[in-house]
Structure 1
């Protein structure tokens, strides 16, 4: 009986601690920008070859809904933890209107990139410039709804999350066949410089539109995704494709400097640098300790050594029996189990995960 009492007391203590944390967090709305890692259904509403509105995507969510995973995105999980009663909806959904937008919107799009040319192979996609255009529309709708002073205050206190750039390599610079030609014309350092220059303008524009608390998520180890293992003929299951990872590290180093620069030059800006590369690399390197059994293959697999040559889709696919044991859901995207770990480390992590503060600290800051 005493054990039950102690267990109950412990649980009540956790609940009280979470209540105190949540009550100290002031986050009226959640605005999300990015690519398929964060998309929640915008591409369902445009003509695009990049969609996830069919099974087995969403198998653990209850239905296919435009998320490129078996369950939730990282920002879905962060929003749930912060106490949002509903997931932040896709901007293009007809129901994302009226008072709904006062709680935020998700503009992310599969195939989207920093550069407007990125993702042309998918035909329809919403690149970063267009996503910000959509947010400008949302901002104006918010102003029309509650007035300019209240809108400015709402945006100042809101969480902005930006995760984009992977497709500028995967669906642009590293596209098979044209890769060698592009690399000869534009060296990696030059291409990354072009990306950072464009991204600087985009993040600054978001700031001018009212964003103050922003999580800027870097590019993960793209050379470790099943697709890149396949096309780079990685025979050793313990290894990743090195060149894509080199590109990601080059971009990330300059992105970290950019975030520091923007915090210095933009009054009132609290931009944080989220080190997804390091977090995902740690998950892959120490997958057993995290409870995974497979770190290199797609749970939703088609053909190839790692099941990563063709995207998870309506064509015949095999889905692993236990999704929680796979780091990757499909050739490109993490599983819900991986996203849980990433989200937790962005919420509560130390400076090696996210700096100069984590998401909870960011939202608690005045």
Structure 2
């Protein structure tokens, strides 16, 4: 069996959501040294604002009851993998962004977002194209200032490398025989180092890097492994913890090595684990069962769709579907990232990063 390498199966989303509008904001920047720049978001399905609507993929959130609590759409599905707002939506609100992200693939997205579901290397290629467009729009000097001083680069990857690669039964056996966890994670980190350095060379300076969450505790993993309510898949979480340890070391390394850059570490693992472990403290009644889904004890096998079972108390569930948090959980996570202490976001939070 061919060796499956990190990043080969990862579904990565690049959202370039302008605070306001990229084109209008960049044009204004030509004569104004104040204000916000753009937010460049690299990630998986968690921050997707609806690009899955326009892709040939089985991973879809453009069907009800997804979006049932999303006020901006009147409760209609938009392609967000949750019942309401994503973490990115809420972070944007808290930082003063006037509009929600519009998917690049949508007909009305011009100037607001770029997105394609490919590997991160290709995502950076697309950012490079945008970077060149800004040079033409503003001139090289002002474009560099716009990117380096007033734009934030948010990157959360890694979960799919484990869930859809190393831990996927149909693909992972050969990989685990040919490559132990240490080597697999080393490959991930080394590749990520090169990718972050490449973004730095394209004038990115403000970075927010999320670690891998407790993937062994999502309803899907609990269901397929037939665990009880208080159990998580040990191997999945151990892999996440091992990767996260090396990721934190990488960010420390880059903070010391890449002059003028700041790499913020978002401790998503501990933050989500806190919600799962102490869910009742935050007003939830369950951190095991998906609100929307079908299959098994925790409705964790079949993704959310029109024929899924649907809970009535959506604000009481940590998980919306077998993989993704509910809006209620997203709200807690997002506010910790924007305003929280170094326990979850370090060395500074997103509000402080924006104001640098």
Pairwise TM-score range, normalised by the shorter structure: 0.7 to 0.9
Q: Retained in 1: the 8 A contact 2:52–2:79?
A: yes
Within the candidate set 219, 231, 236, 2:224 is matched to: 231
Aligned partner of residue 204 in structure 2, secondary structure = coil
Q: Which residue of 1 aligns with 2:81?
A: 68
Q: What is the deviation of 1:35?
A: 0.3
Deviations 1:292-312 (A, max 9, x none): 011101000211111001111
Aligned partner of residue 298 in structure 1, secondary structure = coil
Q: Retained in 2: the 8 A contact 1:40–1:106?
A: no
2: distance between equivalents of 1:180 and 1:201?
Answer: 28
Q: Retained in 2: the 8 A contact 1:297–1:306?
A: yes
Summarize the Cα distance change of 1:201–1:94 in structure 2 as closer, same or farther, 3 Å threshold: farther
Q: Retained in 1: the 8 A contact 2:293–2:305?
A: no
Within the candidate set 171, 181, 192, 2:185 is matched to: 192
1: distance between equivalents of 2:348 and 2:316?
Answer: 30
Q: Which residue of 2 aligns with 1:81?
A: 94
Deviations 1:51-87 (A, max 9, x none): 2111111111122112111111111101111111111
Q: Retained in 2: the 8 A contact 1:298–1:326?
A: yes
1:150 equivalent in alignment to 2:142: yes
Instruction: List alignment gaps of at least 5 residues for structure 1.
Output: 1-24, 110-124
Q: Retained in 1: the 8 A contact 2:219–2:300?
A: yes
2: distance between equivalents of 1:279 and 1:349?
Answer: 11
Q: What is the deviation of 1:26?
A: 4.8
Within the candidate set 4, 22, 40, 2:49 is matched to: 40
1:50 equivalent in alignment to 2:59: yes
Q: Retained in 1: the 8 A contact 2:266–2:337?
A: yes
Q: Which portions of structure 1, spanning 4 or more consecutive aligned residues, are displaced by more than 4 angstroms?
A: none
Q: Retained in 2: the 8 A contact 1:88–1:106?
A: no
Q: Which residue of 2 aligns with 1:27?
A: 36
Deviations 1:16-72 (A, max 9, x none): xxxxxxxxx953221111100111122322222222111111111122112111111
- How many positions carry a matched residue from both structures? 318
Q: What is the deviation of 1:94?
A: 3.5
2: distance between equivalents of 1:57 and 1:91?
Answer: 20
TM-score, normalised on structure 1? 0.83
Aligned partner of residue 279 in structure 2, secondary structure = coil
Q: Which residue of 2 aligns with 1:280?
A: 272
Aligned partner of residue 130 in structure 1, secondary structure = helix
Q: What is the deviation of 1:106?
A: 5.9
Q: Which residue of 2 aligns with 1:10?
A: none
Q: Which residue of 1 aligns with 2:338?
A: 347
Q: Retained in 2: the 8 A contact 1:224–1:241?
A: yes
Instruction: List alignment gaps of at least 5 residues for structure 2.
Output: 1-33
Within the candidate set 173, 176, 179, 2:169 is matched to: 176
Q: Which residue of 1 aligns with 2:348?
A: 357
Summarize the Cα distance change of 1:45–1:210 in structure 2 as closer, same or farther, 3 Å threshold: farther
2: distance between equivalents of 1:26 and 1:290?
Answer: 35
Q: CA RMSD in A?
A: 1.6
Within the candidate set 184, 201, 217, 1:208 is matched to: 201
1: distance between equivalents of 2:203 and 2:104?
Answer: 18
1:245 equivalent in alignment to 2:259: no
Q: Which residue of 1 aligns with 2:103?
A: 90
Aligned partner of residue 296 in structure 1, secondary structure = coil
Deviations 1:213-242 (A, max 9, x none): 1110111000000001112221x2111111
Q: Retained in 2: the 8 A contact 1:39–1:106?
A: no
State how 1:127-138 maps to structure 2 within 5 Å. 127-138=119-130
Q: Retained in 2: the 8 A contact 1:27–1:159?
A: no
Aligned partner of residue 64 in structure 1, secondary structure = coil
1:267 equivalent in alignment to 2:262: no
Q: Which residue of 2 aligns with 1:119?
A: none
